[in-house]
A = this chain, B = another copy of it.
Amino acid sequence: MEKYKGIGIKLTPQRLGILEYLDGNTDHPSAEEIYSKIKKRFPTMSFSTVYNTLEALRKKGHILELSIDPERKRYDPGTTTHHHFMCVPCKKIVDINIAYDLPIPDEQKNDFEVTSNQVAFYGTCAECKKDTSPPIGSS
């Protein structure tokens, strides 16, 4: 794939695998999920390569490291402004494509230089609502 030539990192087969997997991916995978997936094509690949590549891509601004899931970091190839909803029971994260106006009142700004923002919505998705068992002891 020549399409990744200009992204500013040294390209290896493993990195191409990761890039192709992430390209257009809206699953917000964890490092473990990326590793498992790519390992099928590169059985000798190690975790260090995954983290190394993700860190390189993050530094170049090609992917976002999400702090939405309290359990682990999740990665997002999305480049345009968007936000996220996370289903707490199944940990699925989906994009919310809307640009919010989020002004910080001057008196609270304290000379902070704000470079980015992320809105995280938490709740329950449609499938998990269906699956919900009645509370234990509700008889």
Is the CB–CB distance between A105 and B114 below 8 Å? no
Tell me which residues across on chain B come within 8 A of A81, comparing CB atoms: none
Which stretch of A4-12, A14-22, A43-51, A91-99 is in the interface? A91-99
Chain A contact residue count (CB 8 A cutoff): 36
Tell me which residues across on chain B come within 8 A of A119, comparing CB atoms: 102, 117-120
A87 to B116 CA separation, bound complex (whole angstroms): 11
A78 to B124 CA separation, bound complex (whole angstroms): 23
Is the CB–CB distance between A114 and B102 below 8 Å? no
A98 to B106 CA separation, bound complex (whole angstroms): 12
Is the CB–CB distance between B125 and A111 below 8 Å? yes
A113 to B111 CA separation, bound complex (whole angstroms): 36
